[in-house]
A = this chain, B = another copy of it.
Amino acid sequence: MDCINPFLVSVTNVFRTMAACELTRGEPFLAAEGQPTHDISGVIGLSGKAIGTVVVSLERQVALHVAHAMLGEMPPDLNGDVVDAIGELTNMIAGSAKSQLEQFAMSLSMPSVIMGRNHTIAFPGEVTPIAIPFDCQWGPICVQVGLCQKTA
């Protein structure tokens, strides 16, 4: 759970800085396998002395407003600009958290952005990700973090 705190902080900070958006945090919970997500999810991998994945999942309206704040104009739908904005947001959240987890010497992979109603994201093996629900004036956001130390 110690590893989750940096993510709590970075999510709140990145939304405030990038989208002038104040988040209210809900209770973190262990995400059941194949937890349903919102309409669009940014996914990024971390690797080093620990490996992990961070998923930032947003309702359509939240994604559009975040992209609006980051790009200066409201996108008409979940287009390439929104993909870029959500990829960048995910990258910043993971990057900021990782710098607070120096003991794992992790580096970031490239973000990818998943779309599609009712998509689910599961983590294989014994890793149970922690899901952290947030709310903002535009709707809900859920951040999932799965992290495990390398055994080798």
Residues of A within 8 A of B (CB): 33-34, 43-48, 51-53, 55, 80, 83-84, 86-88, 107-125, 127, 146, 148
Contacts and interface: CB of A to CB of B under 8 A. Distances in A.
Contacts of A121: 112-114
A45 B48 contact: no
Contact of A45 (B109, B113, B119): B109
A109 B127 CA distance: 13
A86 to B, nearest CB: 7
Q: How many copies does the complex hold?
A: 2
Contacts of A118: 116-117
B124 A84 contact: yes
A47 B146 contact: no
Contacts of A120: 114-116
A34 B84 CA distance: 12
7 contacts: A34-B80, A43-B43, A51-B108, A53-B112, A83-B122, A111-B124, A115-B120
The 8 closest A-B pairs by CB, nearest first: A45-B45, A45-B109, A87-B124, A116-B119, A119-B119, A47-B107, A84-B124, A83-B122
